[in-house]
Structure 1
Amino acid sequence: VMELLLSAFLIIQVLGSVGGYPSGAPTGACEDMMPRHTGVVPQSSPAPYSLLTNARTFQPGKAITVTISGPEYRGVLLEARTAGSTSALGSWRLPPPDTTFLLCSGNPHGAITHSNTNLKGNATMYSWIPPNSTKPIFFKATVAQQRAVYWINVKSDALLRGGYSQGHDPKVNRKTKCS
């Protein structure tokens, strides 16, 4: 009986270690956004998903809504970034149902991930608050239809800082009238 219990325990331990992360991405996935699903690789086909935003520009403190358009999905890791950076930027608001915050780049609200494997769809809206930045910002996601079927590097179009052109301070560029 003891050998049978020990065998059952070992099988459970092994099976548990080859699974995905049904309650959300691990913090270690923040930079490369790769799921730590043992024995599977990302899909090589183009992602059937797109990241859509409700604005083309951002202003610090003014919420941006992001939706993941495409087939229903079970897993997600969603961050905002600037070009060339692996750091999560800004702050996500209250996560929608079946999702939760993920501590990334020292920010407790730096990313959103799934909290379970319930289906999520186009009606799931994520709300993000931009920081005070002049650099263009884009959203980046890893989206999983199921444990072994996922796409990395799903990106939105870049959002520019509203109110002035990138790299120009509106106070400096004001034209003055000569009399």
Structure 2
Amino acid sequence: MNRMEVKSQTALFLLLLCWVVAILSYPTGAPVGQCVMMTPNHSNATLSNMSSPYSVTVNASTYVLGGIIKVYINSSVPYRGILLEARDVNTSAIVGTWKDLSTNTKTLNCGLGTNNAVTHCNNTDKSGLVYTWVAPAKNGPNKVVFMATVVKIRVEYWIELKSSELTLATTGAAFGLKSSAFVTLSLLSLGLVHFL
């Protein structure tokens, strides 16, 4: 073999190796390093400039500390990859945890958190999955939004897809007891004043 043939074969091998690596990019989920920016690091992939066929929806407009919220990726188009997080609207901090995931997804430990993000664990088509978020038990933010990166195929994806914002609800029982006591005392004092 002459030098030219060796160089050609080496170049072909490197090209083939790059192609294999590109095909296999993150088939088992987003790496923890992507938690903040939520951008896939797939080679030769670019953010889609087309309107997203996916939307992020939730089953509530408010949440309570320690409560459960169901999150959905709505579309008639299946997706292969996902990175899903709940974020504090004011600080962008990742909040809460995830549980009861399908066999096609898994949790990530982003930053100092545990099970605080969801990603895919294979590159098979996904649709109709329900993601279960558990709100923080204490010190929950006033407003939470769910953010997703959805990968249709390795080279076509959308980032920062957002749900509607959820507001932290005041605890109804505690608020109700205080209000009832105030109203009862007010009515009693009015009654007593009236009888005097």
- Find the aligned partners of 2:27 and 2:66 in 1 and give their Cα distance: 32
Q: Kindly indicate whether the alpha-carbon contact (under 8 Å) linking 2:58 and 2:163 is maintained by their aligned counterparts in 1.
A: yes
C-alpha displacement at 1:16, in angstroms?
A: 4.1
Q: Is the contact between residue 71 and residue 132 of structure 2 (CA under 8 Å) also seen in structure 1? A: yes
| Matching residue within 133, 140, 157 for 2:164 | 157
Q: Specify which of 23, 43, 66 is matched with residue 48 of structure 2.
A: 43
- Map 1:75-94 to 2 at 5 A: 75-94=81-100
Deviation of 1:46 after TM superposition, in Å, equals: 2.2
Specify every segment of 5 or more residues in structure 1 that has no aligned partner in the other structure, as ranges: none
The Cα of 1:13 is off from its aligned counterpart by 4.2
Q: Secondary structure at the match of 1:127?
A: strand
Higher helix share: 2
Classify the secondary structure of the residue corresponding to 1:100: strand
- Aligned pairs, how many? 172
Distance 1:162 1:12 in 2: 55
Determine which of 14, 18, 23 is the counterpart of 2:22. Answer: 18
Deviating 4+ runs (over 6 angstroms): none
Shift of 1:12: 5.8
TM-score by length of 1: 0.83
Note the alpha carbon deviations across 1:76-102, whole angstroms, 9 max, x for none: 000000114343210000321211111
Percentage identity across paired residues of the two chains:
33
Amino acid at match of 2:163: S
TM-score normalised to structure 2 length = 0.76
Query: How big is each residue's C-alpha offset from its partner over 1:127-153, in whole Å with a ceiling of 9 and x where there is no partner?
Result: 010013141101000001100111111
Q: In the alignment, is the contact (CA less than 8 A) between 2:90 and 2:143 conserved in 1? A: no
Q: Which of these residues, 97, 100, 116, is aligned with residue 122 of structure 2?
A: 116
Task: Indicate conservation of the 8 Å contact 2:84/2:118, yes or no.
Answer: yes
* Aligned-CA RMSD value: 2.7
Structure-1 separation of matches of 2:91 and 2:83: 16
- Asked whether the 8 Å contact 2:98–2:134 carries over to 1, the reply is yes
SS at match of 2:95: coil
Contact 1:138-1:156 at 8 Å conserved across structures = yes
Q: 1:134 to 1:24 in 2, by over 3 A?
A: closer
Residue 108 of structure 2 is matched in structure 1 by 102
Q: How does 1:53-64 map to 2 (within 5 A)?
A: 53-64=58-69
SS in 2 for 1:44: coil
Rg bigger for which structure? 2
Q: Extract unaligned runs of 5+ from structure 2.
A: 1-5, 190-196
Mapped to 2, the partners of 1:115 and 1:148 lie a distance apart of: 18
SS in 1 for 2:18: helix
